[in-house]
Amino acid sequence: MEFPYLSTILFLPALGAVAVALWPGLSPRAIKRISLFFTALPLLLALYLFLQFDRQGGFQFQERYHWIKAINAFYYLGVDGLSLPMVLLTTTLGFLAVLVSWKIELRPREYFAWLLLLETGILGVFMSLDLLLFFLFWEVELVPMYMLISIWGTGRKEYSAIKFVVYTLFGSAFMLAGILALYFATGTFDIAQLTGMRLEGLRAVLPLSAIFWFIFLAFAIKLPMFPFHTWLPDAHTDAPTAVSVILAGVLLKMGGYGMLRISLGLFPEQAQRFAPLLVALAVVNVLYGAAVTFRQRDLKRLIAYSSVSHMGYVLLGVFALSQVSLVGATLQMVSHGFITGLLFALVGLVYEKTHERNLDRLGGLARQMPFLTVAFTLAGLAALGLPGTSGFAAEFLVFLGSFTSGAFALLRPLTILAAVGIVLTAGYILLLLRRVFYDPPQEKFAHAVDASPLEMACVAIFAVMIMLLGLYPAIITDIIQVGVGPLALLR
């Protein structure tokens, strides 16, 4: 029997959460060190699986045990070229989130317990190959997110936390109805089995198109897709820094992953039928998110709306339906995780050292914070797609795959419209950099200090990943390609 690598990666953070919550007499420093250990181990194991992954494709490192025999539900885990990069991204950002949280002093025991439990919930979504298990982990992350925002957040934190939960539960209710309708028609929750099954012609309690939309709605809210995006700016603005890193870095990717794994994998005919509508909404996401960003004065809210825009590229790549566009969409999820994670971490550092997030009151910080200035500039240039960064590689593949796809007649002009988002991104990123760092220095920030060695190390890890994926994207696209290849409806 093979070692259960996936279960170990999945439950190590949860075990760490139990340890920091129940171990008596732990000091805050000990709590942080234990949390770091229980996020470092899953990261190392995920790196090992990444190196051992067979590039021939298929689900690997599988674990399958009967869970609820009466309804043929399994505890079924596995990863392929689509899910393994998401697991690696989640474990990396989970480790970095603990480092970003190193100065947390308010109720550290509960804070780190919830943060670790959140990582387990997200990992479970990316590993599950049983729809019921997938749904269970989809819901697990709700409670940790609610607690982390409502207790350790700022501003209207209770309102933002409740809004996040209500939106997610609304989508989850429809997803559960769709999953049950699919189960009653097929008798199985097995995602791998359903992916190879022709569902057209099955007698279901709901039409297949209705089941597609029921399940897709949960993914659209999480992505977030216009007009279901309004929970995101509030959650980002009021969440603590590390939670914003996790939220932007991997939580949104649950929506994009679900679209690829389930919407395309299980409902290819419906995905092709509704592709024109969904690509049009992707263009709205890109342009609307970028345009609204210009109106924001709060740094965190600005980065939040930029996420709405950039996740539009994921939606575009998914429903362009070609293999190249699907590779681009998946790479965009990984790239966006590191870029926006770094941006939120840097905004948190700027706020910590200046106690200010309003663009109109900031300025001239380059003199006091040279390291943070360089790091913010790198993250901003990656966000606008500068060649040599992961942002360029991902967006180029999305546009190339979408422009050359023959999914439907208007795809080319819609792709060109979406490309305008790059110009808008350049505008708000350069405006942000100028106003925060390069405007005339202000006397009130004369005593602001640059990043500490620990903060520099954390930022450096983000920067290395952004540059590595930009300069040598094949390190991950070769794996992504074997994962999304069977899902592509067009070559």
Coil vs helix vs strand at 66: strand
**Residue of 93, 121, 98 lying closest to 37 (CA atoms):** 98
Residue 491: its pLDDT value, please? 64
**Residue of 339, 341, 362, 340 lying closest to 350 (CA atoms):** 362
Residue pLDDT, tens place only, 102-158: 999 999 999 999 999 999 999 999 999 999 999 999 999 999 999 999 999 998 999
**Residue of 394, 286, 392 lying closest to 331 (CA atoms):** 394
Percentage of the chain modeled with pLDDT above 90: 87
Element (H, E) at 75: strand 73-79
Q: pLDDT tens track of the chain, all 491 residues? A: 589 999 999 999 999 999 999 999 899 999 999 999 999 999 999 999 999 999 888 999 999 999 999 999 999 999 999 999 999 999 999 999 999 999 999 999 999 999 999 999 999 999 999 999 999 999 999 999 999 999 999 989 999 999 999 999 999 999 999 999 999 988 899 999 998 787 776 777 788 999 999 999 999 999 999 999 999 999 989 999 999 999 999 999 999 999 999 999 999 999 999 999 999 999 999 999 999 999 999 999 999 999 999 999 999 999 999 999 999 999 999 999 999 999 999 999 999 999 899 998 998 899 889 999 999 999 999 999 999 999 999 999 999 999 999 899 999 999 999 999 999 999 999 999 999 998 888 888 888 899 999 999 999 999 999 999 999 999 999 999 999 999 988 76
Residue 153 lies in a domain: no
Are 466 and 389 within 8 A, CB to CB?
Answer: yes
Residue 345: its pLDDT value, please? 95
Residue 90 lies in a domain: no
Residue 337: its pLDDT value, please? 96
Are 266 and 206 within 8 A, CB to CB?
Answer: no
Residue 225 lies in a domain: no
Residue 292: its pLDDT value, please? 95
Residue 389 lies in a domain: yes
* Tokens standing for residue 29: 């420093």
Residue 278 lies in a domain: yes
Residue pLDDT, tens place only, 175-229: 999 999 999 988 899 999 998 787 776 777 788 999 999 999 999 999 999 999 9
Domain region containing 452: 268-491
Q: Structurally, how many domains does the chain consist of?
A: 1
Are 395 and 435 within 8 A, CB to CB?
Answer: no
Residue 272: its pLDDT value, please? 94
Residue 291 lies in a domain: yes
Residue 104 lies in a domain: no
Return the DSSP state at 250: I
The DSSP result for 418-454, as a single string, is: HHHHHHHHHHHHHHHHIIIIISPP-GGGTT-----HH
Residue pLDDT, tens place only, 358-372: 998 998 899 889 999
Residue 62: its pLDDT value, please? 95
Residue 468: its pLDDT value, please? 96
Three-state SS annotation for 56-77 = CCCCEEEEEEEEEHHHCEEEEE
Residue 388 lies in a domain: yes
